[in-house]
Amino acid sequence: MKKSWILGLIILTSACSNDFIPVNFQIEGAKNAVIVRIDGEHTVPWDTIEVINNKLKINLPLDSTLKTFYYFIFDSGASLRIGLEPGDNIIGSINAKESLTVYKLNGSSLSEQLHALYEPVLKSSQIIDSLDKYRLISKNDTGIDLLSMEKRHYTALESRYFEHKNEIIEIMAKDSSSLSNVFGFFQKVADVPLFSNKEDDRVNFNLFGDAIIKSHPYHPLARIFILEKNRILGKNNLVK
């Protein structure tokens, strides 16, 4: 009887522990982080955790979908998203000294896809910052043709926009059904959405969007994606 009780406790404990995913980050430039769970169109504040000796360690719970997303907001202004599934064990390093977060991680396919989708964002942000700084300096230089400078500025922005978009499409193509791809569809470059033109983007919405919806028909993120897809493509805003 005693052995049965102990065995039952072990099974129960194992089942419960599988609902929590270990997250271990080595962090530079931040003292604490606010952790927010992303529940579809809503965000739920989860915890505030202190960074001790440049380490952040926490076990984060899975929700009933078993594909749970969290948003980390550091006191330095840096931030990042992760996605969790059963069996994940996230280990990574984060440079949180500036708002443009630089990080690496492994141990989670959802989180690794989010990181891949973030890399073009980081690159675009760095390019835009450099362009803006040059633009500001040039306006104070009387020897520069401002009209020509503005044309070069917008040509460079336009070029980066399409490079960014192609990079995102290539990343999503490597794992077309990943739920993390939803965040790729909502990216912008200089406040211009990557996916907005119904004619140019119909193929991408059908190729990647339908793969997401087919693989995750009841997940809140996928349901929101359906509404957004229908809005952009001009369909009725009905979740099917």
Please report the pLDDT score of residue 134 as a whole number.
Answer: 66
Of 27, 145, 175, nearest in space to 95 by CA: 27
Cα–Cα distance, 121 to 130 (Å, whole number): 14
Task: State the SS3 of 4-49.
Answer: HHHHHHHHHHHHHHCCEEEEEEEEECCCEEEEEEEECCEEEEEEEE
Please report the pLDDT score of residue 143 as a whole number.
Answer: 62
Please report the pLDDT score of residue 201 as a whole number.
Answer: 85
pLDDT for 207 beyond 80: yes
pTM score, whole prediction? 0.85
User: Residue range 23-30: average pLDDT?
Assistant: 98
So where are the chain's domains? 20-106, 118-233
Architecture of domain 20-106: Sandwich (2.60)
